[in-house]
Amino acid sequence: MPEEDYTIELAPAAKRDLKKLPSAIQREIVFTHLPAIQSDPYLKASPLVGALQGERSYHFGRKPEYRIIFYIEDKTIVVTLIGTRENIYRTAKRRTKRT
């Protein structure tokens, strides 16, 4: 039985990322993928390594494949980046996650 104790927060940069995507993908993210992450963020996403350790990556779609990069702090899921697979990890390294 999944717990929905988590809240989702989009960083300002992630909100800008979302607005740049096609409207159909925006709706899919907001109504399907973010609730899936919220229901069980540890099961639904893979942990990242190296410079992005502590963040998780959720994958969906085919041609192009999309990623949602986030980290979990207490009971808050903070989405830091949303976009296509191409160059997303390079962009993620440039953005600071938390200090």
* Residue 42 tokens, joined: 């540890």
Q: Is 48 exposed, middle or buried (0-12, 13-18, 19+ CB in 10 A)?
A: middle
* Residue 80 tokens, joined: 């830091």
Residues whose CB is less than 8 angstroms from the CB of residue 96 and which lie 6 or more positions away in sequence, other chains included? none
pLDDT in tens, 42-97: 988 999 998 889 999 999 987 789 999 999 998 999 999 999 988 888 888 887 54
Sorted by where each begins, the domain ranges of the chain are 7-94
Q: Which CATH architecture group holds 7-94?
A: 2-Layer Sandwich (3.30)
pTM: 0.86
Please state, in angstroms and rounded to a whole number, the distance separating the CA atoms of residues 47 and 61.
19
